[in-house]
Structure 1
């Protein structure tokens, strides 16, 4: 793909606001993911039986600890890392972000099969050397099979053309953080990266829609306005009907009364792309605050970690990281890594020319995000 997107001019206040939104997006998504991780496969009845009539109200143990994240957060981090490396590699004249994101996903795939980092890979970058990421956290079959070899799926020849699971949606928030890009380009990039694992039109378009909604919120729109604009842009895409219908159902549910787990479940279970998107968006729309929205997003009998992650990405982007509950942040697995990546992402987008370019480059930055 090609783009003529230009980096906007950033004042200090704009940089600080953007960094807060990026931190909020990545950390908020990870918190929602961790809240849902321990109840992902439980029915609402089972959740209430085990945790009380309100369901879970805090982290519950998953993968041997409280605050553990799943493949949703893992893949979101590699999405963000792939985007940084695409922007760095642009200096070389090579400009094809889907390829760089695909390489990042292949690095994630290695964490699912290897015992730990391979020190013989000097161009792997810093994220692939984070040992805590080398842990299987119930990754989706489409993500594993789509990345089982180095062939990259494309819009013309997608991987897993019948798959519309939510695995492409839950990792796509970072595309929306490309605030200097036009919305159509954000949508196009998200689609080109979604079909690397999920080739069904709904599997890809729901991921693109999620990126567009995050993009609108990151640019300062209200969440409702971002959803409405996304519906307009989706309307011109073949095969958009399931995704558009699900988003309209989410908007309609907002007007149907007080939010309840049963109302969340009326939108689906979240295992497929359009349902996960609708459920996460609905919970963010009706959230009284971040805590309320995230608990609503995970207390249902479905893919709780993915709907929690989607809702957390949205609420974190909307309100910034200081709105995230401190107690949940304190226990979150990988918080230092997530925060470092968020700050690097914000710095690349706001100060990239100072880090690398024809006039000179930071050796430390290129060691973290190699051009190769």
Structure 2
């Protein structure tokens, strides 16, 4: 597909990639300061409308959590998988797993190891070396070098939302067929979460993002995900959650109480359902994101999922500028988004038989 990208297509794709990554980070940051609060506590602290802007979390406003951190490393892993195709090594789950191990190092190390050049540029970003309430399953699943697989997953009983909140980048592989996008997200989810629902919810989310990145309508993308889910064993829990989200759209005006009827977002299928519902009923990006975080549950993860969807659907220019301006790590996110878009649309000009860019291979080593 890289050979047939026109300039307008490239610009549209880059805008959607930027929108997806920035939108997810904004939703994450909006929910970070209220993640463990009840709806009653949120209203008591911030007024009857709940939060309407960033509130302090981890010492400042606009701070992101492990949701954004892991999403960035997913993105980087996918770029490096594409680069490694030149060497004849082609197994994206392995490259994503190595990226997740680099993320895990940021949760325990004081800072980047400047002596190592094979880590690439993202792992040298000092601001990422911060613990932002990472999920136990993600930490445990990446506590050693063994890669969990669907047949032999890490944390066999876990279906936490840590699979969904990091899986939007799989959907940005717009040159792939939806079924392959679904499968890749499932295989990478198994690296930390073994329960089928945790894996299938990640696959469904990736396919929905994939449809949006290709220009499909959100409801159509959800229906496509449901069709793919229906062919999988153990899909019913994820399917039911998405069906409840669709049903909630028809039940009246959006409200935090209606969001809470879909769950709290701590599990993968609930985070997916809440994020999808809020994106479906959103009057605009601001409305959708605030609806996604103002509830008594995993506000940063549901905000992140909703932001990924709305950003992929509408592109970066639909995001509120004041939130982008205050967002932690904005420069890193934009660099990574642009690199991803460039790799997916112009890879032959960066590396291949005709020659390679040394600076690109320094950023994304193929070793």
TM-score scaled to structure 1, two decimals?
A: 0.98
1:266-298, Cα deviation, whole Å (9 max, x unpaired): 000000000000000000000000000000000
C-alpha distance in 2 between matches for 1:303 and 1:9: 41
SS at match of 1:251: helix
1:237 aligns with 2:271: no
Alignment of 1:293-304 (within 5 A): 293-304=288-299
TM alignment of 1:218-233, pairs within 5 A: 218-233=213-228
C-alpha deviation, 1:121, in angstroms:
1.4
Number of the residue aligned with 1:334: 329
Aligned residues: 367
| CA distance in 1: counterparts of 2:237 and 2:349, whole angstroms | 43
Residues 151-166 of structure 1 correspond to what in structure 2 (within 5 A)?
151-166=146-161
Task: State the TM-score, normalized to the length of structure 2.
Answer: 0.99
| Contact 1:34/1:69, CA 8 A, preserved across alignment | yes
Q: Where does 1:1-372 land on structure 2 (aligned, <5 Å)?
A: 6-7=1-2, 9-372=4-367
Where 1:257 maps in the other structure, the secondary structure is coil
Displacement of 1:8 after TM fit? 6.0
User: CA contact under 8 A between 2:2 and 2:346: conserved in structure 1?
Assistant: no
CA distance in 2, matches of 1:239, 1:76: 26
- For structure 1, the residue ranges without an aligned partner over 5 or more in a row are 1-5
Aligned equivalents of 1:269, 1:190: Cα separation in 2: 23
**1:69-113 per-position Cα deviation (integer Å, ceiling 9, x unaligned):** 000000000000000000000000000000000000000000000
Structure 2 residue ranges without an equivalent (≥5): none
Cα shift at 1:7: 3.8
Distance 1:156 1:275 in 2: 24
1:220-253 Cα offsets, whole Å, 9 max, x none, are 1100000001100110111110000000000000
1:315-367 deviations in Å (ceiling 9; x for gaps): 00000000000000000000000000000000000001110011110000000
CA distance in 1, matches of 2:3, 2:40: 49
List 4+ stretches of structure 1 deviating above 6 A. none
